[in-house]
Amino acid sequence: MLERIFRNWKTTVIGLTILVVSLVFVWFERATLTEVSIFLMGGFAFLFSKDPKPTDGKANTTKRKAPTGRS
């Protein structure tokens, strides 16, 4: 579990930033714990999510079927 947190450092930094800012708002009584609860859940979700894969600067080259106009 800790390996995932350190390997995916971008989402970990975003998650920690959300958590810290949310707790600072509660500490200085700018928001209640109820108000920042959704941000706390989002911060924990970012902690354990994977970073997006790099695209190498290329556009998506997968071919799509053209619409046929039928419903």
pLDDT in tens, 42-60: 999 998 888 887 776 665 5
pLDDT of residue 58: 61
CA 22 → CA 6, 13, 39, distances in Å? 22, 14, 7
For the chain, domain boundaries? 2-47
Cα distance between residue 41 and residue 12, in whole Å:
14
Residues 6 or more apart in contact with residue 43 via CB below 8 angstroms: 15, 16, 17, 18, 19, 22
pTM of the model: 0.69
Residue 32 has pLDDT above 60, yes or no: yes
pLDDT of residue 51: 85
CB 23 within 8 A of CB 44: no
Tokens of 27: 């500490």
